[in-house]
Chains A and B, each alone.
Chain A
Amino acid sequence: DAGVIQSPRHEVTEMGQEVTLRCKPISGHNSLFWYRQTMMRGLELLIYFNNNVPIDDSGMPEDRFSAKMPNASFSTLKIQPSEPRDSAVYFCASSPREGSPQYFGPGTRLLVL
């Protein structure tokens, strides 16, 4: 199994630009999670999907952030417009069922100048 795949691995952009992060979960996993990790705030859950449906987006910081999961094998996290405080590592994780571990991708390191 290829594991969770994220792209790009690194992204450098300027303030105000749109950023799109991509994730391919492990095949057969029903749930997908987006996290943000910073030194100051640690690991934060932004949103999670179950069977492609957003279940909990209470962690999404503000309207500039949006996430979609059009099918079971693909999800995007979009930031528009981006701000320097969005600089962080963004992780995608997937899980096969309730109570199972989450399996993390390698992350996307985002720097907004």
Chain B
Amino acid sequence: AQSVTQPDIHITVSEGASLELRCNYSYGATPYLFWYVQSPGQGLQLLLKYFSGDTLVQGIKGFEAEFKRSQSSFNLRKPSVHWSDAAEYFCAVGFSGGSNYKLTFGKGTLLTVNP
């Protein structure tokens, strides 16, 4: 069965520092990959998505992610974190075939930003 791993439960960075959140998936087929962000008391908001083509994708709020097939990874990055980026981040994976609309979500990484 497909699975998504976000190895870091909680990350703390200083405002202005760079950020990388890790995501690994397991499955043999080519995946669709997503990152979502959830602020406290809110729903999940789509940050970016990868379907095919360029493996470096740009998203909203200055985030980007890179798909590395050889490492089965889709890490999220931001060069300079703002205090408003404090939230929980979820990686999600979907796979094509058989009208499969399901996504498998990781357990999330909580980001704390220190002033």
**A residues at B contact (CB < 8 Å):** 4, 30-31, 33, 42-43, 45, 48, 50, 55-56, 91, 93, 95, 97-107
Q: A42-B108, A99-B51, A99-B96 are in contact. Are A91 and B44 (CB under 8 A)?
A: yes
Number of interface residues of B (CB under 8 A): 22
Set B34, B49, B101: member contacting A50, Cβ < 8 A: B101
**B residues at A contact (CB < 8 Å):** 32, 34, 36, 42-46, 49, 51, 90, 92, 94, 96, 99-103, 105, 107-108
Q: A45 to B93, alpha carbons, bound, how many Å?
A: 13
Closest residue on chain B to residue A6 by CB atoms: B43
Closest residue on chain A to residue B34 by CB atoms: A101
Q: A93 to B105, alpha carbons, bound, how many Å?
A: 13
Inter-subunit contact B90/A43 (CB<8 Å): yes
Closest residue on chain A to residue B103 by CB atoms: A102
Inter-subunit contact A103/B46 (CB<8 Å): yes
Inter-subunit contact B101/A48 (CB<8 Å): yes
Chain A residues near B100: list those with CB within 8 A.
98
Chain B residues near A56: list those with CB within 8 A.
102
Inter-subunit contact A48/B45 (CB<8 Å): no
Q: A42-B108, A43-B105 are in contact. Are A99 and B94 (CB under 8 A)?
A: yes
Q: A97 to B96, alpha carbons, bound, how many Å?
A: 11
| Distance to closest chain A CB from B36 (angstroms) | 8
Chain B residues near A30: list those with CB within 8 A.
101
Inter-subunit contact B43/A31 (CB<8 Å): no
Inter-subunit contact B42/A106 (CB<8 Å): yes
Q: A58 to B24, alpha carbons, bound, how many Å?
A: 24
Chain A residues near B90: list those with CB within 8 A.
43
Inter-subunit contact B102/A45 (CB<8 Å): yes
| Distance to closest chain A CB from B92 (angstroms) | 8
